[in-house]
């Protein structure tokens, strides 16, 4: 199957290039390319109209060599086991790149939350939690928000788990409301991490972000925060697209007003003082920085030749297919891969987990300061590795990640 259509296959293709450079042991290779555990559950829910619907849910624990599985839960009509397994693998490499004591996990439920009431979403979340409860826990697997899930969903998950185990277990999930053990700075962490990596990349490439033209695909939590922070630094955010439409202004969009508009209208479409823009048109813009912060496989062989940006920072997971990435690299476009660029979220999730387990919480400036240090350190290590092996940043990041997981796998030995 083509990597353009198989997300897990795309992950394996990315893995293979780095593994060959490392001359990875064949046995370790086999271990690191197979998910440890794949769970499929049925979640019956009584809907508001009295009918019973049965939703399919997944949880994949890809690798737990470095620590408990860590990864979000997404609610989306297109969720599949292949997608969840790939995302769990990417979480494994992301945690290793950021040098966090976590493995990789991911979850998802096939549903359309836009067509469900709050009560139905709560019932679905609680049933899903109950179905996978034996596989999760602060020392086993720690979920977090992802596409179409949020702090409230994490609160329901934590409460359901706590009711089953008989005590309040705040560390079972991250991305919770601050009032119940969430960390300050967590909501903005992924977007802040994207900003930090964009800033460090521009510095390395030798151009200033002041006045730099930036296009952002996706205006959810990641894209909106990254756009706002970059605008505060003096960058000119000229284009933004979301699930519905897009907006463009060559002089730069007022991001704070756009965020307020988006909050009210649930889309950027119709924002005053801007032209309408499609995703296809966004990729064709002559910009300095492109931030894909939507879903997987957005930059493909079908549109990669349209891209004119000198820097791409992957805010989403797997937004660029391997064949498209090769084209970008061959044409001198600097791409910072997802497993490094969007690691800010899981890094502050780690901080939240630590704070929950100690029962002691940090100020927001402390969280941001620690995030800054972690992201800058990871960027520097990946850059040095890429230069050492004369490869691009994606291969460099995979070399760092695979080497860390493989080393610990060897040290732990084989249990039989």
- Helix then strand count (H, E) for the chain reads 14, 12
The domain in which residue 163 lies consists of 35-180
Of 180, 205, 234, the residue that ends a domain is 180
Asked whether the whole model's pTM tops 0.85, one would answer yes
Please state the domain count of the chain: 2
Residue-level pLDDT at 219 = 94
Same domain, 173 and 235: no
CB 191 within 8 A of CB 221: yes
H or E stretch covering 38: strand 37-46
pLDDT for the residue 211: 96
Confidence at residue 217, expressed as pLDDT on a 0 to 100 scale:
96
As beta bridge partners, residue 213 has 236
Residue 43 lies in a domain: yes
pLDDT at 10: 82
Distance of CA 341 to CAs 70, 131, 221, 346, Å? Answer: 17, 33, 15, 11
Asked if 355 and 333 touch (Cβ cutoff 8 Å), the reply is: no
Residues 90 and 135 grouped into a single domain: yes
Pairing label, strands 236-241, 246-248: antiparallel
Q: Catalytic one among 30, 36, 94, 106?
A: 106
- Is-contact 69 41, C-beta < 8 A? no
Indicate whether 304 belongs to any domain: yes
Structural contact between residues 111 and 80, judged by C-beta atoms closer than 8 angstroms: no
52 domain residue, yes or no:
yes
Among 316, 341, 366, the domain-final residue is 341
Q: Are residues 176 and 284 in the same domain?
A: no
| pLDDT at residue 285 in the model | 96
Are 133 and 156 in the same domain?
Answer: yes
Q: Is 203 a catalytic site residue?
A: no
Residues of the chain with pLDDT below 70 are 1-5
């Amino acid at each position: 199957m083509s990597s353009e259509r198989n997300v897990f296959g795309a992950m394996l293709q990315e893995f293979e290039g780095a593994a060959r450079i490392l001359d990875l042991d064949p046995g370790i290779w086999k271990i690191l390319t197979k998910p440890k555990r794949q769970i499929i559950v049925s979640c019956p829910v009584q809907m508001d109209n009295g009918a019973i619907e049965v939703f399919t849910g997944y949880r994949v624990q890809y690798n737990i060599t470095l620590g408990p599985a860590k990864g979000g839960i997404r609610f989306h009509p297109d969720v599949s086991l292949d997608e969840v397994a790939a995302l769990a693998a990417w979480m494994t490499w992301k945690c290793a790149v950021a040098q966090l004591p976590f493995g990789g996990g991911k979850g998802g439920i096939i549903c359309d939350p836009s067509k469900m009431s709050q009560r139905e979403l709560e019932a679905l979340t609680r049933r899903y939690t109950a179905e996978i409860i034996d596989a999760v826990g602060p020392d086993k697997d720690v979920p977090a928000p992802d596409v179409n899930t949020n702090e409230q969903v994490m609160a329901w998950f934590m409460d359901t788990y706590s009711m089953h185990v008989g005590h309040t277990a705040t560390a079972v999930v991250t991305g919770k409301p601050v009032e119940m053990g969430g960390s300050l700075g967590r909501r903005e962490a992924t977007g802040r991490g994207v900003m930090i990596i964009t800033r460090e990349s521009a510095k390395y490439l030798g151009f200033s972000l002041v006045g730099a033209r930036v296009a952002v695909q996706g205006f959810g939590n990641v894209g909106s925060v990254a756009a706002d922070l970059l605008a505060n630094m003096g960058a000119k955010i000229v284009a933004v697209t979301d699930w519905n439409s897009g907006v463009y202004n060559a002089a730069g969009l007022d991001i704070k007003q756009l965020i307020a508009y988006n909050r009210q209208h649930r889309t950027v479409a119709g924002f005053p003082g801007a032209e309408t823009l499609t995703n296809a048109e966004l990729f064709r813009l002559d910009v300095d920085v492109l931030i894909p912060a939507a879903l997987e496989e957005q930059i493909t062989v079908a549109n990669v030749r349209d891209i004119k940006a000198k820097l791409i920072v992957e805010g989403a997971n797997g937004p660029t297919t391997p064949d498209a990435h090769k084209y970008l690299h061959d044409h001198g476009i600097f791409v910072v891969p997802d497993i490094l660029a969007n690691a800010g979220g899981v890094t502050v999730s780690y901080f939240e987990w630590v704070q929950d387990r100690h029962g002691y919480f940090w100020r927001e400036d402390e969280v941001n300061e620690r995030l800054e240090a972690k992201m800058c350190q990871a960027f520097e290590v990946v850059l040095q590795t890429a230069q050492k092996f004369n490869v691009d940043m994606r291969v460099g990041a995979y070399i760092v990640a695979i080497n860390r997981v493989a080393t610990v796998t060897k040290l732990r030995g084989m249990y039989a």
